[in-house]
């Protein structure tokens, strides 16, 4: 479905991502894990061509390495960015509508998003900046879904949220996977991410240091000690 080969992201002389390769199959959830500064955000920003990168990308067998961000979105590669990046002065529904600006049927998708996150329907006329952190994250995920993603990339959707809200959002991801959406999930919350993903890659200072089946990594003694804090 999506294959990334030799992705490099540099900021001047800072080498944030040092030639990583990975793949995502249709209907899979793949986690990219790692601590602060490991290069997770840069990986997503590099794929989406939001920051400059060297890479080869294949989507459904087609070489899309030279595609600009808008073209990638048109193809159905959609990012739900770190820190949500909602438009605080717009209403919930206006924020959602922004998500289908480039791709996606606005009316249909609004209904789908409201079914997944009923709280957003209740608050559709509310100014987005006044939502709770959890509701804002749901809005950010909802906005990404408005573009009908084939590949949904999420950058730390659990950041700063209460466990019950994280569960609610992760349950939606499981539902989306069932619908056939492929999900690339960047997380610092490794245990939660491993529990819902099929496979995972662990990044350290811009390199993949471990990869494998999520359930196996979850019970691997070395991984537990080094990355899962237990």
In this chain, which of 24, 29, 30, 38 binds ligand ATP, going by CB under 6 A? 38
Question: Closest approach of Cβ 35 to ligand ATP, in Å?
Answer: 7
User: Backbone phi, then psi, for 11, in 5-degree steps?
Assistant: -115, 100
Question: Closest approach of Cβ 42 to ligand ATP, in Å?
Answer: 3
Question: Closest approach of Cβ 172 to ligand ATP, in Å?
Answer: 22
Stretch that binds ligand ATP, among 40-48, 52-60, 117-125, 127-135 (CB under 6 A): 40-48
Nearer to ligand ATP, 42 or 53 (CB): 42
Q: Give the x/- contact pattern for ligand ATP in 178-197, rule: CB under 6 A.
A: ----------x---------
Contact 122, 132 (CB under 8 A): no
40 binds ligand ATP (CB under 6 A): yes
Nearer to ligand ATP, 14 or 226 (CB): 14
Residues 5-34 that bind ligand ATP (CB under 6 A): 11, 14, 16, 34
Q: Give the x/- contact pattern for ligand ATP in 41-70, rule: CB under 6 A.
A: xx----------------------------
Give ∠ CA 73-27-25 in degrees, rounded to 5: 80
Question: Closest approach of Cβ 20 to ligand ATP, in Å?
Answer: 12
In this chain, which of 13, 36, 125, 221 binds ligand ATP, going by CB under 6 A? 36
Binding site for ligand ATP (CB under 6 A): 11, 14, 16, 34, 36-42, 82, 188
């Amino acid at each position: 479905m999506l294959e990334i080969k030799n992705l490099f992201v540099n900021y001047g002389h800072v080498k944030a991502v040092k030639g990583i390769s990975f793949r995502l199959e249709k209907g899979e959830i793949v986690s990219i894990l790692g601590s602060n500064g490991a290069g997770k955000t840069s990986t997503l920003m590099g794929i989406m061509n939001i920051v400059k990168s060297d890479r080869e990308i294949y989507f459904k067998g087609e070489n899309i390495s030279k595609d600009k961000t808008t073209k990638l979105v048109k193809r159905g590669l959609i990012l739900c960015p770190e820190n949500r990046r909602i438009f605080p002065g717009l209403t919930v529904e206006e924020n959602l509508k922004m998500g289908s600006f480039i791709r996606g049927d606005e009316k249909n998708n609004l209904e789908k998003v409201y079914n997944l996150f009923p709280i957003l329907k209740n608050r559709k006329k509310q100014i987005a900046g006044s939502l709770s952190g959890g509701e804002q994250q749901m809005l950010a995920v909802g906005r990404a879904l408005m573009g009908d993603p084939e590949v949904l990339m999420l950058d730390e959707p659990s950041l700063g949220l209460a466990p019950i809200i994280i569960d609610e959002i992760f349950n939606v991801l499981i539902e989306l996977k069932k619908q056939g959406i492929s999900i690339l999930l960047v997380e610092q919350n490794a245990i939660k991410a491993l529990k819902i993903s099929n496979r995972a890659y662990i990044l350290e200072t811009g390199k993949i240091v471990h990869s494998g089946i999520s359930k196996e990594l979850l019970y691997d003694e070395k991984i537990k000690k080094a990355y899962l804090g237990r």
